[in-house]
Amino acid sequence: MAEQAQENSSLSAVVADVAAGVALALDGGRDSSALSGVLAQDDPLALAAIRVLGADVLAPYALRAGGGPGTTTDTGTDMDSGMAHRRTARASGVGAGPAARGARADGEVVRKALAAYPPGADASEVSLWSYRGLVEASRAYLPAGQGGPESPAGAGDRAAGPAAVAGWLQADPWPQLAHRASQLAALSLPGLAPALATGLAARTEDLSRGFVRAVRRRDWLQAAGIGRWLARVPDVPDTLGLDTGLVYVLRMSGGDARVALHTAIARRFHGRGAR
């Protein structure tokens, strides 16, 4: 059913390709991130796909960077990112050589995606958040000089501060909250949106309900997105069966690449899912 919403556009297909590439890179199947190596830099579809996936396209760099900066202020991730760091210590050090060239090229692709698809005047809040997440991720995860594109026209800075967070994060009834959280799942990467993470960590029970509802509805993408936020928090209810649930969602989605990316991130960053 999740497929219905996305239709089977060529953009959806490219989004799936990019998601699959990133998941592969996360699992160590490729040396560098999947972006520049496999995508034509000026392909508008490829750039659009990067914009759709947001910060997740840089998840392999976050893993190598040991979970990214800002983790000390980032509720619930300290232990997890530390774990990821130990696991990937060998792979860090993106200073020179082919890895550095890859990072440089990927930073360039991301910069182009941001420039090509800035949030318009009537962009949704999700779009703004996601844009800002990608800006933040390239600053945080890519080695200095490769990332940190200035956000064109500063569009991403609109409505993205903690004050803007407060409203829906506290007031939304749990079904809407969970749906929105899943749309913003890429921001669950370490250090990207501390206020958002803290706010959602305070609503673990509501996200758990949302996970149950999403699985019941067979909305695997939503379930996986909510599952990622839940994977971060230490107090997720045992009765939810999150580990089994993430595996279940992945299998039942029938190979949905975006679902697979979500579950791969939950596994690699937080050790949740397949054990």
Partner 1 sequence: MASDLSAPVETAALAAEVEGLLDSAEPEGIYRDTRECGAGLLLLGALLISPPTPRPPKTDAR
Partner 2 sequence: MTAAPPALLHRVGDRALAWLHSNREYFRLTDDDRATGRGLVERLKPVGELAINMRVLAREGVAGSRQRDLSRQLLDFAWRDLLDGGNVLADLQAEEPLSPVPLEIYASLHELGYRHPGLEAAIDLARTTASWRAVEMLPNRRLGLLNAERKIGLVPSGDAEQALAATWLGRTPEPWTVQFHLAYDITHTVFHLTDWGAAPDRLPPRIAGYLALYLPAWTADWAELEHWDLLGELLVVDACLPAPTLDARMWERYAAAQAADGAMPVQGAMPAGDPETVFDLVHHPTLVAAFASAMATSRALSSDVAA
Give the residues lining the site for partner 2 (CB under 8 A): 173-175, 205, 208-213, 215-217, 223, 237, 239-241, 244-245, 248
Interacting residues with partner 1 between 175 and 194 (CB under 8 A): 179, 183
Closest CA to 155 of 118, 186, 181: 118
Residues in the chain, total: 275
Q: Binding partner 1 by CB under 8 A: which of 13, 38, 45, 91?
A: 45
**Gyration radius of the chain over CA positions:** 17
Q: Binding partner 1 by CB under 8 A: which of 86, 218, 237, 251?
A: 218
Residue 197 Cβ, how far from partner 1 at the closest point, in Å?
A: 19
Q: Are 58 and 25 in contact (CB under 8 A)?
A: no
Q: Is 153 in the site for partner 1 (CB under 8 A)?
A: no
Q: Binding partner 1 by CB under 8 A: which of 33, 34, 51, 231?
A: 51
Q: Are 134 and 51 in contact (CB under 8 A)?
A: yes
Q: Is 6 in the site for partner 1 (CB under 8 A)?
A: yes
**Binding partner of 179, given partner 1, partner 2, none, CB within 5-8 angstroms per partner class:** partner 1
Q: Binding partner 1 by CB under 8 A: which of 38, 83, 100, 116?
A: 116
**Binding partner of 137, given partner 2, partner 1, none, CB within 5-8 angstroms per partner class:** none
201 Ramachandran zone, left/alpha/beta (phi>0; psi -120 to 50): alpha
Q: Is 127 in the site for partner 1 (CB under 8 A)?
A: yes
**Binding partner of 6, given partner 2, partner 1, none, CB within 5-8 angstroms per partner class:** partner 1
> Which span sits near partner 1 by CB under 8 A: 70-78, 195-203, 210-218, 235-243?
210-218
100: buried, middle or exposed (CB in 10 Å: 19+, 13-18, 0-12)?
Answer: middle
Please state, in angstroms and rounded to a whole number, the distance separating the CA atoms of residues 39 and 55: 17
Amino acid making up residue 17:
D
164: buried, middle or exposed (CB in 10 Å: 19+, 13-18, 0-12)?
Answer: middle
Amino acid making up residue 223:
A
Name the residues that contact partner 1, by CB under 8 A: 1-2, 4-6, 9, 11-12, 15, 40, 42-45, 48, 51-52, 54, 116-117, 120, 123-127, 130, 179, 183, 216-219, 222
